[in-house]
Amino acid sequence: MIERRELYIDGQWVAPTSDEVITVDEAATEDIIGTVPAGDVTDAERAILAARRSADLLAEMPISDRADIVTAIAAGLREREDELARIMAQEVGTPMPSSLRVQVGLAATVFETIAEAARELPAEERVGNSMIIRVPAGVVGAITPWNYPLYQLAAKVGPALAAGCPVVVKPSSVAPLATFILADIVDGLGLPAGAFNLVSGRGALVGDLLSSHPQVDMVSLTGSTGAGVQVARAAAGTVKKVALELGGKSAFLLAEGADLDAAMAAAVRGCFVNNGQTCSATTRLIVPQSLLAEVEERVAALVGAMTVGNPLDDGVDIGPVASAAQYRTVSKYVDMGLEEGTLIAGGPGRVDGLDRGYFVKPTVFSRLDPGATIVQEEIFGPVLSIVAYDEGIEQGIAIANDNDYGLSGAVFAEDIPTAVSIARRLRTGQVAINGGRFNAKAPFGGFKQSGVGRELGHHGLLEYFELLSMQFPSADDLGSFGQTV
């Protein structure tokens, strides 16, 4: 039982305003494994004002010193990786090998690559008679989700601190425990008091205040498209910067001539990572009609061979979804799929032998209409939809683009040049080419209802700056100014 009784505000652990707590369930057992404070608007206000007071001090720190602190956070995560991985396996349901590699390892990598990008950032740009410098955007409100608690935190806190922006973090109430460990790591690293603040609480209270508060200069949210609309609406009143990484219903587009075994292995991996609880998961498999039967056979075999169980156990491929609410949501879509398509793996009902926990069978539906509900809407669970096209790759591209989201995608073709030519025509933020793997230095973000802005690497770092242009009497006058950081 992990009991966190305090919030991290203004450089210290402090008592919350109320005694109310948020309970955290273990996804595999439904047992309560922890509690955190249910912070309210008074706590959030304290954190925002503390961040505001620290803004000048943090901005005045050399960017190399800020980068060193971001690197130190990564080192702290790696030192406690076993503890963190176990917590997120319990909170989120991620099997332990993936929890170590992705939940913790990727988070640490993001902090490291952001620090690297900060050290490489040019101090200034000269254009004609103007000198252009980057200044911190200001106080940042960071609202993070439950599916990747540390990775998403790293994608916001890393660039914010590196850029010189104080941050107030509100973690998801479903999976907040790892965020408190990160705050333990940050404490004592030499940041000005108020540069990092943690306020757990309900989104309707803390999240709304971060979005609307006039002393918050930027708000960054990862969450559902509906949550993103609410944040953007709340932020509009104070005309603050908004970065939104939202939902996805990404397509895996198979072309004629592709290596079918390699492609289907990549397709299944891309859909079912983190038990399907991934916004960029490729949950729409779009294939030529001529290959449909072979695709179904291979996918059914791969998914049928998956082991479902407690994510703390060895050999588990699929753990539970994170909460009772998510279990109900995914189950509703599985029932819907029985009416809309042909079931080829998994299906409704509890997993044999698992009477407790939020376990959903890894499920695949095929022979679906491109407009079917389970093809169009984000399910956020271990459910794959297969759609066939019979009029050539042009139709396949059209089906892939016919969706409100545009976060991610994949193309598997006979060769890489062919795959690239197809990928260029997809309206999505990133595309895996013939099994290409995720790159923490590449920009991540989406088109359409998948969001606004980019995270990761130097593109993500630049989101946390504003540009200041100084106009000189002539270009010659710039020569007397050396580069400063």
The CATH number linked to 91 is 3.40.605.10
**444 part of a folded domain:** no
Distance, in Å, from the CA atom of 107 to the CA atom of 171, rounded to the nearest integer, reads 15
CATH number at residue 376: 3.40.309.10
Query: Is the same domain home to 299 and 211?
Result: no
Residue 190 near residue 69, CB atoms below 8 Å: yes
Query: Is the same domain home to 178 and 307?
Result: no
* CA angle at 68 for the pair 62 and 70, rounded to the nearest 5°: 110
Rg for the chain, CA atoms, rounded: 23
Query: Is the same domain home to 464 and 411?
Result: no
Query: Is the same domain home to 406 and 462?
Result: no
Query: Is the same domain home to 406 and 458?
Result: no
Instruction: Confirm whether 20 is a catalytic residue.
Output: no
The two three-digit tokens of residue 396, written as one number? 């396949």
Residue 480: the pLDDT is: 63
Q: Kindly report the pTM of this predicted structure.
A: 0.96
Query: Is the same domain home to 237 and 384?
Result: no
Query: What's the full length of the chain, in residues?
Result: 485
Report the chain (485 residues): mean pLDDT per 10 consecutive residues.
Answer: 97 97 97 97 98 98 97 98 98 98 98 98 91 96 97 98 98 97 95 98 92 98 94 96 97 97 98 97 98 98 98 97 97 98 96 95 98 98 98 97 98 98 98 97 97 97 97 85 51
Residue 484: the pLDDT is: 44
**485 part of a folded domain:** no
Handedness of CA 393, 394, 395, 397 (dihedral sign): positive
The 10s digit of each residue's pLDDT in 337-393 is 999 999 999 999 999 999 999 999 999 999 999 999 999 999 999 999 999 999 999
The catalytically annotated residue of 91, 116, 245, 378 is: 245
The catalytically annotated residue of 26, 271, 279, 463 is: 279
Query: Is the same domain home to 202 and 261?
Result: no
Instruction: Confirm whether 463 is a catalytic residue.
Output: no
**454 part of a folded domain:** yes
Residue 280 near residue 430, CB atoms below 8 Å: yes
The proportion of the chain whose per-residue pLDDT surpasses 90, expressed as a percent, equals 96
**126 part of a folded domain:** yes
Range of the domain at 241: 2-246+450-469
Query: Is the same domain home to 51 and 86?
Result: yes
Query: Is the same domain home to 174 and 225?
Result: yes
What is the tally of structural domains in the chain? 2
Q: Name the residue among 21, 39, 48, 49 with its Cα closest to residue 206.
A: 39
Which residues are CB-neighbours of 188 under 8 A, at least 6 positions away? none
The 10s digit of each residue's pLDDT in 61-89 is 999 999 999 999 999 999 999 999 999 99
**475 part of a folded domain:** no
Query: Is the same domain home to 290 and 171?
Result: no
Residue 482: the pLDDT is: 56
Residue 203: the pLDDT is: 86
